[in-house]
Structures are given as C-alpha cells and as structure tokens.
Amino acid sequence: MFIEQPPWFYRALFPGATWRIPSDERCVYLTFDDGPIPQVTPWVLNTLDQYGVKATFFMVGDNVRKHPDVFRMVVERGHAVGNHTFHHIQGIRYWTRNYLADVELAARLIPGNLFRPPHGHMRFPQLLRLRETHRIVMWDVVTRDYSPHLSPQQVLENVKRYTRDGSILVFHDSLKAERNMRWAMPRAIEWLLQEGYRFKRIE
C-alpha cells in the first residue's frame, strides 16, 4: 500500500503538492506519465476518445522534442499536459541548480504550470523553488502498470482497491508499462464509470 497509495507521512514531505482533489461530486483524475511516444500514446488517446474521457499527461521533454506530432495530438484532443523534466531524472540524484535547469528545458516545449517529479522524488530545496512557478501534482493512486512483477489483473485491482473521490490515478504511456496498461486501463475506466465517477483534467 505504501507504493500504491502513499501514506500521510510521505505526503507531508511535499508541503503544497497536490495529491488528491476532493470535490462535491464523485470524480477522479486520470494521468499518464513518461510519454509521448508513437508506439503507445496514440492508442491511449483513441481509447480515451472511445469513453469520452479527458486526462492529464505528464510528459518527458525529450520525448516531446523527438515526437512533436504526438504531442500535438494530445493537446488537440483536449487533454491537459504537464512537465515531467526533460530527461526523466530523479531530483534526489541531482543538485538543485541542475534539476531546475532540466525542468526549465522541458518547460520550453511543454506549456502550462503543472509539474510532476519522476519517481516522486525531489530534494526539499527543489520543491520550494518549483512551488513558486508550478503546481506540483503527485498522486493518490499509482497503478504500478510499469512493474514486471504485476499482472494486468493486479494493476486493475490496484485501481479498484485504492480509488476514492478525488483520486489522482497514474498510468504510463510508455513501452515499459504497455502490456499491463493496454489491458488494465480501459477496464479501469469502465469500472470507474460504473461506480459513478466522472473524469476531469487537472487544471
């Protein structure tokens, strides 16, 4: 559970970050990390269109640079986009100056003020600086679709077990997660709709 739904003491390490967005209505926020890539992202977009769902994509700047046409597809389909650094780097492994430079490099290609740190790791000074210019969006449920140790069925069960009103859910439009995500994501959407949830973008 520590991974799938971070406990309060882990969330407390990131003051000011958004982990969940409760509201008066029953809603969830579907997000995708690590794209855009032509092998996976267009399929995700087509699937979301089938269900009339809007999502938020936290993108790696270098992938946007390499696949600008796929990036445009995401924006033109009405989804929100966020910064996921340029090189998908973990903040705890970099000096603050270098980490912020990587974020800024991605920001030149990815509009808006949404930011999610890769792997959910940042140094506290990095958090403080990024809070000044970005809305830092973490998650309430990580599906772990990227894990080779989980089956697609287990990924779906993570959604069913941990989702609650206002949950921010994380899937990945990446090659690493493709097998699990392609099976679990549409079934998760169907289950969430049956449970009465509405899907919203993060603004």
Domain positions in the chain are 23-199
| Domain 23-199: CATH superfamily, name plus number | Glycoside hydrolase/deacetylase (3.20.20.370)
Name, in order, each residue with C-beta under 8 angstroms of 35's C-beta and a sequence gap of 6 or more: 41, 44, 57, 59, 60, 63, 70, 74, 172, 173, 174
Judge whether residue 71 has pLDDT over 90: yes
pLDDT tens per residue across span 152-175: 999 999 999 999 999 999 999 999
- Nearest-angstrom CA–CA distance, 156 and 169: 12
E strand intervals along 34-106: 56-59, 80-83
Judge whether residue 2 has pLDDT over 80: no
pTM for this predicted structure: 0.97
Q: How many CB atoms lie within 10 A of CB 141?
A: 25
Residue 22 exposure: Cα atoms within 13 Å on the Cβ side: 1
Judge whether residue 177 has pLDDT over 70: yes
Q: What is the mean pLDDT of residues 13-37?
A: 96
Bond from prior residue into 36 cis (ω within 30 degrees of 0): yes
The percentage of residues in the chain with a pLDDT greater than 90, rounded to a whole number, is 97
How much is the pLDDT for 10?
Answer: 94
How much is the pLDDT for 202?
Answer: 98
For tokens 């924006």, name the residue: 75
How much is the pLDDT for 23?
Answer: 86
Two tokens, residue 92? 């705890």
